[in-house]
Amino acid sequence: MRIAAALKPNLLLAPGARLVSVSSQMGSLERASSGDIAYRSSKAALNMSLKCLAIEWSRTRKRLRVAALHPGTTDTSLSAPFQANVPAGKLFSPSQTASYLLARIDALHDGPSGRFLAWDGEEIPW
């Protein structure tokens, strides 16, 4: 949020500006599931902060978009312990993940600010 505060003056001036953060569907309160409580809590806090930013900034800049993005499961050392539970075709290389997220970022101008989106464009409930 400190980065967002530092970027705010420039974001408010740039037409079509977007502020996004990588989050996780595990931070969705509606999609409660098992998992590390500290991780889930930190993602829920991030998501709430982004939603609040979207509301606050929409008052002064209608075209600015704020979003939380869930990248899916990316094949990294962080996800390695959990990869056995990932359905076939749902474990993405880092380059696939980057491509999916860039597509979501490019499409943000088509919807309202304050969205929580998965890698495939699915809207995730807060």
Strand partners, 67: 20, 115
pLDDT at res. 86: 92
CATH superfamily, region 2-118: NAD(P)-binding Rossmann-like Domain (3.40.50.720)
pLDDT at res. 60: 83
Distances (CA, A) of 108 to 29, 66, 68, 87, 125: 23, 8, 11, 27, 17
pLDDT at res. 23: 95
Residues 6+ apart with CB under 8 A from 9: none
pLDDT one digit per residue (tens) for the chain, 126 residues: 999 999 988 988 888 899 999 999 988 988 867 778 898 999 999 999 999 999 999 888 888 999 999 999 999 998 898 899 899 999 999 999 999 999 999 999 878 999 999 999 999 998
Its pTM stands at: 0.89
